[in-house]
Amino acid sequence: MDSRSDVTYVRDISTLRIDDAEEAGGKGANMGELVAADLPVPPGFVLLRDCYRDSMRAGGVDTELNALHREALHDMADAGRLTELCDWMQALVQKAGIDDAMRQPILDAYHALGPGAVVAVRSSATGEDGADASFAGMNATITNVSGDEGLLDAVTRCWMSLFSPRVITYRASRGFTQDPAMAVVVQQMVDSAKAGVAFTADPSNGARDRVVIEGAFGLGEVVVSGEVEPDTYIVSKETMQPLDIRLGHKAFKIVRGEDGHDTTVDLDDAQADSRVLTEDELRTIAELAIATERHNGCPQDTEWAISNGKAYLVQARPITTLGHTKPPASEEHVVLARGLAAAPGIASGKVRVLLTPDEGGRLQEGEILVAQMTNPDWLPTIRRAAALVTDTGGMTCHAAIVARELGVPCIVGARTGTRDLHDGTTVTVDGARGEVVSGRVEAPARLSATERSAPIQVQSEVTGTKVYVNLAMAESAETVAAQAVDGVGLLRAEFMLTEALDGRHPRDLIAHGEQGTLVAKMESSVGRIAAAFAPRPVIYRATDFRTNEFRGLKGGDAFEPVEHNPMIGYRGCYRYVKEPDLFALELEALARVREKSPNVGLMIPFVRTRWELEECLSLVDASPLGRQRGLHRWVMAEVPSVMHWLPEYIGLGIDGVSIGSNDLTQLMLGVDRDSDVCAELFDESDPAVLDAIGQIISTARKFGITSSLCGQAPSTKPAFAEHLVRMGITSVSVNPDAADSARRVIAAAERRVLLEAAR
């Protein structure tokens, strides 16, 4: 027995509600709500989403369709390839057509509308006409459809419209990247004498005290498509009286011809410039629009039609653009998105939503970059951005780290930023408050990238605890070195490596015999930083990409395993042991740097056990770097096992330990540091974390080695800084923008400790 016999493929519009939007699409569900509100809606029915899905499955094209769609999303920047893929997908949909199991239920619903019913067939794709995206005019609408075969053909054409270049691009820009599906609304045609749209808030400025109505003669297609200049009426919600009337020049109208097809009728100047709506009609349309808003609880974008003196609502959806335009001078700026305040500063500009770093060329200098998340491949794009907003991430994610170093205002963990913020909209990002607001907010002039690079001289206090900085990019070396800092406590290799390889996976270079390029470029970048800070120490942390980050590099799929939890997976010290040839290239680059700048030290990250560190250090000793005199060898203390193993590590020749407070906190408390959902659980000042830090510092003091801590807490939490000072830590390493405040906080803590000792 066919299991599909129990599946409902068709439902009358009157039975649908907004909760059915997933299966009936936004358009179908919204129409059902209008019926529930007892508003005048032409009768009709909806082919549910499963009708499309099961037809594609029965036709044997579903798997190929989904694969091609994913390829199209990847190749959107290549217009020619995107068009080719769309033609291919539309041909597959046409080939599959409507499965036999659905044909009769569709025709039964159609026949119930009356003999020879003339209908409009409209797409109702997943996500259409919702609060996040309207898809206005994107998918197909076929009007004046009659007859069984005509209806079935129109349904197939609607399904095919899922795969046009503009629809795929639009869906992607709104964050709809899952495999698409479509419901279809079939509704009795209103042979309208007048038609148009009505907004229950002014789309030009967001004002909600008025209804804005546009109208033209004939079918409403001429208004929605913009083919004619419609009349525009602004009606007060309070008095229902017109506030403004502007008559447009309606050069023609579209009517239903005797043959059942749309016909264009030219209008003479007198007709073209005449008023469309009478006072009574205007009031009726305004009342229907307001009733729709009242029922749905939010401003609405409706479509209306008048036939034989009766007004109908033929469509309604939430207005998706409110708050994305500049508000009136009398109103406050609307908050469009909120997240974690990751990098301070205020910047205004136009939004640019990007899905992948490959789209970076679309971002113009000074625009606001909005992305789901960033990785090192995004670096060139972030440099040009006025500000950065990401959907996911915590205070220590890639986006936050890079933005702070570049001085770019940044908000992370905005969750729905890529859906709530739209291309071309002018917004202001406040990185200190974690808010994106509509319009342009006057703020102190933001420095250009060149101005941000100018050396800044600061008056600094003298502290016994050294204040180092964290760096990731060579271009900021001279600027940061001009500050009153004691050196570089954490030089992240990952970002420099990405730039050196032009986004390629290092093994891809090796496979093409280009490993010399890697060594030369890394030598240049690290050498520039070392020279800028000399003779102050620069502690280079070996590359610590996770496998998911490595996979994101060009060619990475061929070399990286897929891990369910990369954070505690194949990374750090263990990886160097397993891939000594790649580690050797990094060591060679450092050896070349140290020939000119012996102030560079090596730090091994994510050390779990004694045996792996011993193996790793043997690789260092056997390399040109290991044979150089005076090389300081550090380990990162991120894994809690370091509390047990540190004496053994020191016995192997380690003379510095740097506490990675972010990862250590993450592993001590079992919380993902990049999770915006669990952000409040991440606390470096938790007693368990402080106890672990205290044990590590105590061991370092006992054996006479350097101890440091990498993280922002010493600059933002005076109590945390005082804990470190009392524990006897040697140094802290913070982002450059926090170095001065960290110095002041530590100086105050040292004074308190000295005063207590003197009593």
Residues serving a catalytic function are 398, 710
Closest CA to 265 of 254, 249, 278, 279: 254
Q: Is 46 helix (H, G, I), strand (E, B) or coil?
A: strand
**Strand ranges of the sheet holding 119-125, from the earlier edge strand across to the other edge:** 10-12, 44-47, 182-188, 119-125, 141-145
Using CB atoms within 10 Å of the CB of residue 38, give its burial: 0 to 12 exposed, 13 to 18 middle, 19+ buried.
Answer: exposed
Contact 714, 747 (CB under 8 A): no
Using CB atoms within 10 Å of the CB of residue 717, give its burial: 0 to 12 exposed, 13 to 18 middle, 19+ buried.
Answer: middle
Burial call 331-345: b when 16+ CB within 10 Å, e when fewer: eebbebbbbbbbbbb
Query: For the chain, what's the residue count?
Result: 759
Task: Indicate the helix (H) or strand (E) that contains 706.
Answer: strand 706-710
The one-letter amino acid at 702? K
Paired tokens of 758: 């003197």
Closest CA to 398 of 386, 387, 410: 410
Paired tokens of 721: 């800084």
Q: Angle of helix 62-74 relative to helix 165-173, nearest 10 degrees?
A: 70
Closest CA to 330 of 200, 202, 206: 206
- Secondary structure (DSSP) of 204-256: TT---SEEEEEEEEB-THHHHTT-S--EEEEEETTT--EEEEE-----EEEEE
- Scanning 441-504, the segments in alpha helix (DSSP H) are 449-452, 477-481, 493-500
370 pairs with which residues across the strands?
A: 353, 389
Closest CA to 86 of 72, 107, 104: 72
Task: Indicate the helix (H) or strand (E) that contains 431.
Answer: none
Q: Scanning the structure block, which residue is given the tokens 């495999």?
A: 179
Using CB atoms within 10 Å of the CB of residue 373, give its burial: 0 to 12 exposed, 13 to 18 middle, 19+ buried.
Answer: middle
Instruction: Give dist(CA 435, CA 176) in Å, integer.
Output: 24
Instruction: Give dist(CA 741, CA 747) in Å, integer.
Output: 10
Using CB atoms within 10 Å of the CB of residue 1, give its burial: 0 to 12 exposed, 13 to 18 middle, 19+ buried.
Answer: exposed
The one-letter amino acid at 655? D
Instruction: Give dist(CA 173, CA 279) in Å, integer.
Output: 41
- Scanning 130-197, the segments in alpha helix (DSSP H) are 148-160, 165-173
Using CB atoms within 10 Å of the CB of residue 321, give its burial: 0 to 12 exposed, 13 to 18 middle, 19+ buried.
Answer: middle
Q: Is 99 helix (H, G, I), strand (E, B) or coil?
A: coil
Instruction: Give dist(CA 464, CA 485) in Å, integer.
Output: 13
Region of 689 (left: φ > 0; alpha: ψ -120 to 50; beta: rest) is alpha
Cα atoms found within 13 Å of the Cα of residue 115, Cβ hemisphere only:
0
* Vertex 543 angle, CA 542 and 549, to 5°: 160
